[in-house]
Amino acid sequence: MTCGRTAVVFDARGLARVFGTPHEIVAEVRRMAATDGLFVRATVAGTQSAAWLLAHASTDRSVIDPGGEAAALSPLPLSLLKTLSGLCQARPAPGPPGRARRAPLRAHGRHYRLAPGPPCRALSGDEGPGTDEVLAILVRWGLSTLGALAALPRAEIRTRLGVAGVRLHAAACGEDAEPLVPADEPPTFEERLELEWPIDGLEPLSFVLARQFESLSARLERADRGAVCLRTRLGLVTGDTHERTLTLPAPMREARVLRTLVLLDLESHPPPAAIDVVTIRIDVAPGRIDQGSLLDRTGLVPEDISTLMARLGALAGETRVGAPVVVDSHDARRLALVPFRPGPIPRADRPELAGREPSVSIGIAYTMRRFRLPVVVRVAVERGTPVRVDTGSGGLAGGRVVSAAGPWRTSGAWWSRAGAAWDRDEWDVAVEAGPCYRLTRDRATGRWEVEGLVD
């Protein structure tokens, strides 16, 4: 655990089998520091408070045997307790329970974190005078050494000086308020594989990806994490790299699904050359917990939706699959698609559970089959009304107009850039052959088009 820029606290248990006695451990630490050009004071004690105070004292003693902390600290000056603030500042701020991942602190290649406990601020300031005030009071009482403070009864200290006084008293006795516990290395979810022979094509790559994702999936499961972003980096034989990033709608960790998603993405965006290095990196989020219900319908889980979207995207194009959106415009030709991410399926009613759903009546007078590429036609007009539609050799049936309604005039976007504006007259016509069309006449050019088919 690093404390500021000048102190490091680490757990030396077990080092005796490597270096020998505590004195030899201290000597080894000094030697290693000297190798890096640092002159350090190293101490070993049974508690971190005792080791801390001893290291900050001007004394030649460097080792306190377990159980002898109070006696060893007894002659040290009371002012040393001011240095404890550095130890307190190294502790991370308290976060939500069960969620805070304390910042890992590196010392001698290992990581430690402080065990959950009362925060320093609460000990020092919230329930009474602060550390400096308590020390000033102790000095006014005539105390000058840690031993003198340790000799006072703690209950009386608690009554008169509050929690901050108790903390200083415990430190003077060589006791720790919070023990050191090791913290796990923050996991990184990355797999890199250098291939002996370059591979060309997605089929052999799928075997490589399967191996990598099985390992990653197991690690994700152990860490209770799910992948939210897949970063695929392919090293090519040409020396270039082919990178793809795939953002997932929900955390997931099933190896088969992740491999399929990456393969489908690479199918749409294949690497330009053979591959000799495959690196998969996963950005993670806390795992998703789904609780099924006997009363709710089972719907598509996000893994299924992602896989389906990837498959459809590879088949029809990523921009051609999604949920439609009604654009806020009077131009009926405008439309938009958004990613298909339906919400949860509402609870089923009893008739649905019985397999027979209630009849629903949807009021639709007619629908329009819109031609995204409008068909240019010739229209004969008499007294302002279309009387005949000539569709040429296209697939639409033309002929005499038996009934027509219109015109409805729409226009808009005249204030925007050229090409976005429209100004049209619309007609609904029924031709003799049977079909009903929506015709438009561009008021600027006079061109007639079939915009859609009533159906």
Partner 1 sequence: MKTAAMSKLEALLETRRLNHTLLRPWLAAAPARTVSSGVAPLDAVLAGGWRLGEVSEVVGAASSGRTCLAVAALAASTAGGRLAALVDTTDRFDPGVAADAGADLTRLLWVRGPAMSPGAARPAMVDRAVRQAVRACDLIVRAGGFSVVVLDLADVPSRRLRLLPHPTWMRLARAIEGQPTACLVIAPTALGRSARGVTVQVSAAPRWQGTSAQSRRLAALEITARFQTAHAVVQSVDLESGGLQNQAALRTPAPSDHRTIGPNRIIGP
Amino acid sitting at position 292: G
A 10 A CB-CB count for 447 gives: 15
Alpha carbons 415 and 443: distance in angstroms, whole number: 17
The dihedral sign for the CA sequence 357, 363, 369, 370: negative
- Give me the least distance between CB of 9 and partner 1, in Å please: 54
- Give me the least distance between CB of 300 and partner 1, in Å please: 4
Q: Which is nearer to partner 1, 82 or 409 (CB)?
A: 409
Q: Which is nearer to partner 1, 107 or 348 (CB)?
A: 348
Q: Which is nearer to partner 1, 363 or 446 (CB)?
A: 363
User: Residue 15: which residues within 8 A CB-CB, separation 6 or more?
Assistant: 25
3-state secondary structure of 258: helix
- Give me the least distance between CB of 354 and partner 1, in Å please: 9
Closest CA to 306 of 244, 260, 255, 243: 260
Q: Which is nearer to partner 1, 284 or 404 (CB)?
A: 404
Q: Which is nearer to partner 1, 160 or 447 (CB)?
A: 447
- Give me the least distance between CB of 399 and partner 1, in Å please: 13
- Give me the least distance between CB of 176 and partner 1, in Å please: 56
The β-bridge relationship of strands 110-114 and 336-338 is unpaired
Give burial (CB, 10 Å; 0-12/13-18/19+) of 242: middle
- Give me the least distance between CB of 412 and partner 1, in Å please: 2
Alpha carbons 422 and 334: distance in angstroms, whole number: 11
Q: Which is nearer to partner 1, 58 or 293 (CB)?
A: 293
Amino acid sitting at position 412: G
Question: Six-digit token pair at 351?
Answer: 């008739």
